[in-house]
């Protein structure tokens, strides 16, 4: 059974387009995250939701808008895509927000903007 799943796995699109990436977890976790991994493999937090409420919003362009319809889903919508948005985006989840909680990651979505 897949714990954290993302769709699509690969996304190739033109500059200026709007696209969405979906994430679902079946672990019963309350907290979900989006991370961006750049071409040098560096991982950085973008957003986090706890029980559908935004709790982390790092310095990310307004073109990125997360949406959490319920606590099992956290989608990422990106408007007006730019070349610099090309990266691998990882969704993750934890049971709660405690320091001891382990994060479980999805397989990633490789976004390529042409």
Partner 1 sequence: GDSVTQMEGPVTLSEEAFLTINCTYTATGYPSLFWYVQYPGEGLQLLLKATKADDKGSNKGFEATYRKETTSFHLEKGSVQVSDSAVYFCALRSSGSARQLTFGSGTQLTVLP
Structure tokens, 80: 């007006």
The residue count for binding partner 1 (CB under 8 A) is 28
Task: Tally the residues of the chain.
Answer: 114
From the list 12-20, 37-45, 59-67, 71-79, the region that binds partner 1 by CB under 8 A is 37-45
69 Ramachandran zone, left/alpha/beta (phi>0; psi -120 to 50): alpha
**Is residue 12 a contact point for partner 1 (CB under 8 A)?**
no
- Residue 15 contacts residue 67 (beta carbons within 8 Å): no
Q: In angstroms, what is the minimal distance from the CB of 16 to partner 1?
A: 28
Return the bridge partners of 56, or none: 48
Q: Is 73 a residue that touches partner 1 (CB under 8 A)?
A: no
Residue ranges in contact with partner 1 by CB under 8 A: 4, 31, 33, 35, 40-45, 48, 55-56, 90, 92, 94, 97-108
């Amino acid at each position: 059974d897949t714990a954290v799943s993302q769709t699509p796995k690969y996304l190739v699109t033109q500059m200026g387009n709007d696209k969405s990436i979906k994430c679902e977890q079946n672990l019963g976790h309350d907290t979900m995250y989006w991370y961006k991994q750049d071409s040098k493999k560096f991982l950085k937090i973008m957003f986090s939701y706890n029980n559908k409420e935004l709790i982390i919003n790092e310095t990310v362009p307004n073109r990125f808008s997360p949406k959490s319809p319920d606590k099992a889903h956290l989608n990422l919508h990106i408007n007006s895509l730019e070349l610099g948005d090309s990266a691998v985006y990882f969704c993750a989840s934890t049971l709660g927000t405690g320091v001891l909680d382990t994060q479980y990651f999805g397989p990633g979505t490789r976004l390529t903007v042409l």
